Amino acid sequence: MGRKWANIKEKKASKDTNNSRIYAKFGIEIYVAAKSGEPDPHANQKLRFVIERAKTYNVPKHIIDRAIEKAKGTGDETYAELRYEGFGPNGSMVIADALTNNVNRTASNVRAAYSKNGGNMGVSGSVAYMFDNTAVFGVADKDAEELLELLMEADIDVRDVLDEDGTAIIYAEPADFHNVQEALKEAGITEFTIAEIEMIPQNEVVLEGEDLEKFEKMIDALEDLEDVQKVYHNVDLGE
């Protein structure tokens, strides 16, 4: 797949944890998921998925509980789920997924993050077709072949299981996210370095010099926006 998820996840988690932004973003995502159905993770698969993801980023339990309680109570904020697609320097492609209660603000901020760093925002569908929606799990200190055999025995088809820097990375269909997770948990695997549904680029590009510098500033600018939940791209950063 080309993406070293263990390193990328560690780098992002370190950055986000230092400024606590990831906690705020997960708080909103958990609130939205709880509002979309029952505020009970056992009865709401979307909520359960978000909580499982939050745990891989060490989001404190009180933040998770507070977001759910807000959804149970008087919280009446309405958030729109939006996807912004765009282009960076020299063939790079970027997707920013957002949850926002102010669409005009978010669109303006995302557009500025692109344009001020050598890129431009495209129309819907201009980039996403070059990415594959994929469930991704990371399991530290496990053999990739053993995990593949375990999942095959559970009658779960996966796209691939690879060893990336000592971490087994499982790539599966998004619809099989919970099946993979449950099969691993039944085998005693309850800790994940990553448990996400990601947009994986079909092809990657390498940037150098000024192009790379502009691109990294663009990604930082997008990730720093409070309304942006996830950012995907097709650049091999060599992490």
Q: Which domain holds residue 103?
A: 80-129+203-233
pLDDT at 128: 96
- Within a domain: 239: no
The pLDDT tens digits of the residues spanning 180-212 come to 999 999 999 988 888 889 999 999 999 999 999
Question: What's the CATH number where 224 sits?
Answer: 3.30.70.980
pLDDT at 144 over 60: yes
Question: Could you tell me which residues come within 8 angstroms of residue 77 by beta carbon, excluding any fewer than 6 positions away?
Answer: 31, 101
Query: Where on the phi/psi map is residue 209: left (φ > 0), alpha (ψ -120 to 50), or beta?
Result: left
The pLDDT tens digits of the residues spanning 86-112 come to 999 998 999 999 999 999 999 999 999
- Within a domain: 164: yes
Burial of 66 (0-12, 13-18, 19+ CB in 10 A): middle
Based on the fold, state whether residues 20 and 121 are members of the same structural domain.
no
- Within a domain: 167: yes
Based on the fold, state whether residues 86 and 196 are members of the same structural domain.
no
Based on the fold, state whether residues 107 and 213 are members of the same structural domain.
yes
Question: What's the CATH number where 46 sits?
Answer: 1.10.10.200
Based on the fold, state whether residues 101 and 119 are members of the same structural domain.
yes
pLDDT at 10: 47
* 66 to 22, 40, 72, 154, 174: CA distances (angstroms): 15, 13, 10, 36, 28
Distance CA 157, CA 56 (A): 24
Residue 95's SS3 state is: strand
